[in-house]
């Protein structure tokens, strides 16, 4: 004979933590190759060069984000025809949740970087990215100041 069972009940608590910390990115240092000698390529190491470019990314504690960089292939003098090739390889990027360039992890800046904001309260809720690369002036490279722009897009992933 089967006995009747009384219904059982249970509950769980639902919570959501809404943060006021929007995701921001700022340029902390320009990528500066300095004075070049025609015909001599110059490489800046993202991990060791004081002239490496640097971005500071701030956001919600422990939030995951992606960083997508749009990298130029050449530097130019204004809008003129003179150009200087620039390349970025698999170790031209370096990233860390601490502001310590010498211990950052290298990455390929041509790919999307996925990382997490540091688990600290503002203003230490930061992630740091350094950029190096190589410029290759020709033997007959015209003198002048060549420039380009690296664009950066950061977005929360929701994770």
In a domain, 12, yes or no: no
User: Which pLDDT tens digit goes with each residue over 146-156?
Assistant: 999 999 999 99
In a domain, 15, yes or no: no
Q: Across-strand partners of 105?
A: 95
In a domain, 3, yes or no: no
Beta strand segments in 59-150, E: 64-70, 74-76, 83-87, 93-96, 105-107, 113-116, 126-131, 133-135
Q: Any idea how long the chain is?
A: 159
In a domain, 150, yes or no: yes
Q: Is 102 helix (H, G, I), strand (E, B) or coil?
A: helix
In a domain, 5, yes or no: no
User: Which pLDDT tens digit goes with each residue over 90-121?
Assistant: 999 999 999 999 999 999 999 999 999 999 88
Q: Which CATH number do you get for residue 110?
A: 2.60.40
In a domain, 6, yes or no: no
Which pLDDT score, from 0 to 100, does residue 18 have?
A: 57
Q: Across-strand partners of 70?
A: 151
In a domain, 74, yes or no: yes
CB proximity list for 105: less than 8 A, separation 6 or greater: 94, 95, 96
With contact defined as beta carbons under 8 Å apart, do 115 and 64 qualify?
Answer: yes
Q: State the pTM of this model.
A: 0.86
Name the pLDDT band for 1 (thresholds 50, 70, 90). low
How far apart are alpha carbons 156 and 117 in whole angstroms?
Answer: 10
Which pLDDT score, from 0 to 100, does residue 17 have?
A: 56
In a domain, 70, yes or no: yes
Structural domain tally of the chain?
Answer: 1
152: containing domain: 24-156
């Amino acid at each position: 004979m089967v006995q009747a069972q009384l219904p059982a009940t249970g509950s769980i608590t639902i919570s959501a933590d809404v943060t006021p910390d929007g995701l921001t990115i700022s340029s902390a240092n320009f990528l500066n190759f300095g004075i070049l000698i025609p015909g001599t390529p110059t490489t800046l190491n993202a991990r060791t060069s004081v002239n490496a470019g640097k971005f500071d990314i701030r956001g919600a504690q422990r939030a995951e984000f992606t960083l997508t960089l749009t990298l130029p292939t050449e530097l130019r003098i204004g809008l003129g025809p003179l150009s200087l090739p620039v390349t970025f390889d698999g170790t031209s990027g370096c990233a860390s949740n601490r502001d310590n360039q010498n211990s950052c992890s290298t990455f390929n800046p041509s790919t999307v970087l996925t990382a997490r904001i540091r688990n600290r309260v503002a203003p230490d809720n930061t992630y740091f990215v350094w950029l190096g690369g190589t410029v290759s002036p020709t033997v007959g490279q015209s003198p002048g100041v060549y420039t380009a722009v690296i664009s950066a897009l950061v977005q929360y992933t929701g994770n």
